[in-house]
Structure 1
Amino acid sequence: MGYEACTTDACNASYDEVLTHLSPYGWGYMGIAFGLGLSVVGAAWGIWLTGSSLVGAAIKAPRIRSKNLISVIFCEATAIYGVILAILLLSKIGDGVKGKSEYPEDWNYSQFYFAGYSLFSSGLSVGLTNVASGISVGIAGSSCALADAQDGSLFVKILIVEIFASALGIFGIIVGIIQSNDADYPS
């Protein structure tokens, strides 16, 4: 029972066959999963960065505890962007023709696959943007807590930098909405 050479056509499949033989609904749901999952990872990472610095700096200056919780809220916003995108993309999928084993002769397969690829790319790009946004907000929030513990007048100045970092997530969801704008599964 040694190695046998593959001589069937199934062994010679190309990448375009793999990409077109996965269900467009599968591509859409994978995009939703990546968008939501990576957004939550970005938020958690940012909260971890901000929270650990906040707790450490609050030992020196307990006055910063409640004021710097705004940094945690900015981190949490990236997860909310992922939830918003997931709701929007789920509404694009709709009921459609899921579960049918045969499609009509005049079925528009290009529209069907375009919708799946569009939702996948939208979810992936928003998820990756929100990871970057969560980390940058976490780093800025950490700096804000440490600076506020040293000098209370620095809080607002560094909070503005944190707002700019949070804007990355907003830009990501705008791009994701534009990417999925023309994605309509045929019914």
Structure 2
Amino acid sequence: MLTHLITGRIIFCEVVAIYGVIMAIVFSAKITGNLEGGTDGLWSPNNYLTGHVLFWGGLTVGMCNLCCGVAVGITGSNAAVADAADPQLFVKILIVEVFSSILGLFGLIVGLIMTGSAEEFK
């Protein structure tokens, strides 16, 4: 039974890391780094908006993933104790762990919606 818990915790922790990698790829697509025309348009309102959207989108995803990791860790450690006491609780605890993992998915969705409205840096 312990191997089920360890496998589940590893999968949930890897998913949170993948959410961060997805957002890093989305953020890097917004940054073109093309300054051939000089730095005249570097401080434009659109660039300020894009910078703020990327910052707050990253902060939102990061905080949601932090809360998700803490929640998965707490439920996972309690799942090991509860499963040792009563093996019938495994599925119920796994459902609780899935719901705590949804926090990270929620952060990913909100971050994608936020960064989808931003234009590329020009």
Fold shared by both chains (TM-score > 0.5): yes
SS in 1 for 2:116: coil
Equivalent residue for 2:20? 82
CA contact (8 A) 1:93 1:184 kept: no
Structure 1 CA distance for aligned equivalents of residues 114 and 43 of structure 2: 20
Q: Are 1:134 and 2:69 counterparts? A: yes
Equivalent residue for 2:40? 103
Relative contact order (C-alpha < 8 Å, sep 6+): which is higher? 2
Equivalent residue for 1:92? 30
Structure 1 CA distance for aligned equivalents of residues 15 and 34 of structure 2: 32
CA offset at residue 100 of structure 1? 6.4
CA contact (8 A) 1:118 1:180 kept: yes
CA contact (8 A) 2:32 2:121 kept: no
TM-score, with structure 1 as normaliser: 0.60
Structure 2 CA distance for aligned equivalents of residues 182 and 73 of structure 1: 31
CA offset at residue 181 of structure 1? 1.1
Structural RMSD (CA): 1.9
TM-score, with structure 2 as normaliser: 0.89
Q: Are 1:65 and 2:17 counterparts? A: no
CA contact (8 A) 1:78 1:130 kept: yes
Q: How does 1:11-22 map to 2 (within 5 A)?
A: none
SS in 2 for 1:135: helix
User: Which consecutive segments of 4 or more residues in structure 1 shift more than 6 A?
Assistant: none
Unpaired stretches in structure 2, ≥5 consecutive residues: none
Structure 2 CA distance for aligned equivalents of residues 146 and 100 of structure 1: 62
Deviates further, 165-174 or 86-95: 86-95
CA offset at residue 136 of structure 1? 0.4
* Overall identity of the aligned pairs, in %: 45
Q: Would you say how many aligned residue pairs link Structure 1 and Structure 2?
A: 121
Unpaired stretches in structure 1, ≥5 consecutive residues: 1-63
CA offset at residue 83 of structure 1? 0.8
Evaluate the alpha carbon distance shift between residue 151 and residue 111 of structure 1 in structure 2; reply closer, same or farther with a 3 A threshold.
Answer: same
Q: Are 1:156 and 2:88 counterparts? A: no
